[in-house]
Amino acid sequence: MAKILNDNAIGIRRRNRKVLIVGLLFTSPWIIGFFIFQLYPILASFYYSLTEYNLFSPPKWVGLGNYRKLFHDDKFYLSMYNTLYITIVGVVPHMAYALAMALLLNAKVKGQSLYRTIYFLPTLVPAVASSLLWMWLLNSQYGLINMGLHYIGIAGPNWLVDPDWTKPSLILMGFWGTGTITVMYLAALQDVPKMYYEAAEIDGASKWRQFWVITFPSISPMTLFQLIMMLIASFQYFTEGLVFAEATQSTGGPENSLLFYSIYLYQQAFSFLNMGYASAMAWMLFVVVMICALVIFRTSARWVYYGGDK
């Protein structure tokens, strides 16, 4: 009896090992790719962040020197400010707008799928192309936006040239590309059980109240997910800023108002060949994003509801 049990156990162990090996073999393309193209570079960048390195000569160890230098670099703070600006001012309005659009696109209206398609289309336009298009719209002299503002009696700002307006311009443009967020919200909205609304209606709750008591809590996991994703994307803001800055024939735009963190990082790395410093910048960004993400997760328990938990 005991012997049989023992044999069985070995058999299972053997089979498990075989399954494990087969599994590993199947996932090996990813595993190898991950080690070579992600993990190794990430770790290497940490090493380089502790050195002075110009791509050609061997790295020179400077310890925490690069990090110390960061804290004395005006442009580090400026680029961080620009990035935080676009994150803090941009992310929440973009999400609110996307949610509002999702609610509209969720309504039972004739031709809804057409509206959904039209609304989603701009998302398919590449970032550079949509930036160039928006630079025309935002042209202070002949742009459609200032023309529209003129009709209602507002003298539009000099969007692309006035350093106070360059970042709001980008945020404005961002509304155009919220299609993906909307589609995901739309999916979440369609998952909210109908019976809640029926019950609320019987109880006489207004649409407004229904939204805050039923809809918003039900889709809160999606909100959390979007918030984190957008936060990360926003901290890496690059392409649109670079294209807008090109309009004024510079890297950072008017008075460096478009010098975003990743643009400055790129400049340090590829224009100034300060690879060590740029690596340190990347790790600082990692730490900042990590802290932001952690804060959001810590507070999320208070506003995110999962169907199963509650």
Partner 1 sequence: MAKFRKKPLALLGSSVLVLSVLAGCGSNDNNEGSAGASAAGASPSASSAADASAKPKDKVEISFWTTYTDADAGPITAIVDNFNKSQDHITVKMLGNQDPTKQLTAISGGAAPDVLLTYWNNIGPWADAGAVRDLTDDISKSGFDVSSIIPAAMDRMMINDKYYAMPFTMSMASSLMYNKADFAAAGLTKPPETLEELSDYAKKLTKKDSSGNITQIGFIPDYPWIDNVFWPVIFGGSWIDSNGKLTPNAEPNVKAIAYQRSFYEEFGQSQIDKFKSGMGKRGTAQDPLLTGQMAMMVGWEYNFMPERAADGPIGVAPFPYPADHPELKGSGMVSPRAVFIPAKAKHPEEAWAFMQYLMTTDTQVQYSLDAHVIPTIKDALSDDRLYVDSNKTMADFYESAKSENLNGFPNSSYINEYLQSLSEETEKALKGTESPQEAMDKVAEKIQPLADGK
- Which of 57-78 are b and which e, b meaning 16 or more Cβ less than 10 Å from the residue's Cβ? eebeebeebbbeebeebebbeb
Instruction: Find the binder of partner 1 among 86, 230, 262, 284 (CB under 8 A).
Output: 262
Separation of alpha carbons 230 and 75, rounded Å: 24
> What's the CA gap between 145 and 200, in Å, rounded?
42
Burial of 214 (0-12, 13-18, 19+ CB in 10 A): middle
Residue 219 is a binding residue for partner 1 (CB under 8 A): no
Distance CA 223, CA 197 (A): 20
Query: Could you please report the per-residue DSSP string of 160-194?
Result: TTSTTTHHHHHHHHHHHT-HHHHHHHHHHHHTS-H
Of 244, 234, 99, nearest to 166 by C-alpha is 244
Q: Write the CA distances from 276 to 35, 85, 259, 272, 293, integer angstroms.
A: 21, 26, 20, 11, 26
Site string for partner 1, 168-207 (x = CB under 8 A): ----------------------------------------
**Least Å from the CB of residue 258 to partner 1:** 13
Interface residue with partner 1 among 249, 298, 302, 308 (CB under 8 A) is 249
Nearest to 286 by CA among 57, 45, 111: 45
Query: Between 87 and 139, whose beta carbon lies closer to partner 1?
Result: 139
H or E stretch including 52?
strand 51-52
Question: Which of 45, 123, 218, 239 is in the footprint of partner 1 by CB under 8 A?
Answer: 45
The reply on whether position 113 binds partner 1 by CB under 8 A is no
Q: Which of 255, 258, 302, 307 binds partner 1 (CB under 8 A)?
A: 255
* Residue from 104, 217, 228, 305 binding partner 1 (CB under 8 A): 228
- Residue 225 C-beta: closest distance to partner 1, Å: 6
Please tell me the distance from the alpha carbon of residue 189 to that of residue 191, in angstroms, as a whole number.
Answer: 5
Amino acid identity of 136?
W
Q: Cα-atom radius of gyration of the chain, to the nearest Å?
A: 26
How far is it, in rounded angstroms, from Cα 140 to Cα 147?
8
* Least distance CB 73 / partner 1 (angstroms): 10
- x/- contact string, 53-82, with partner 1 (CB under 8 A)? xxxxxxx-----------------------
Of the candidate residues 26, 297, 299, 303, the single one contacting partner 1 (CB under 8 A): 297
**Token digits of residue 239:** 């392409």
CB of 232 to partner 1, least distance (A): 5
In the complex, the smallest distance separating the C-beta of residue 186 from partner 1, rounded to whole angstroms, is: 20
C-beta of 48 vs 76, nearer to partner 1: 48
We find the least distance from the C-beta atom of residue 172 to partner 1, in angstroms, to be 16
Q: How far is the CB of 193 from partner 1 (least distance, A)?
A: 21
Is residue 265 part of the contact set for partner 1 (CB under 8 A)?
A: yes
- Where does this chain bind partner 1 (CB under 8 A)? 37-38, 40-42, 44-45, 48, 53-59, 139-142, 158, 160-162, 224-225, 228-229, 232, 235-236, 248-252, 254-256, 262, 265-267, 269-273, 275, 278-279, 282-283, 285-286, 289-290, 293, 297, 306
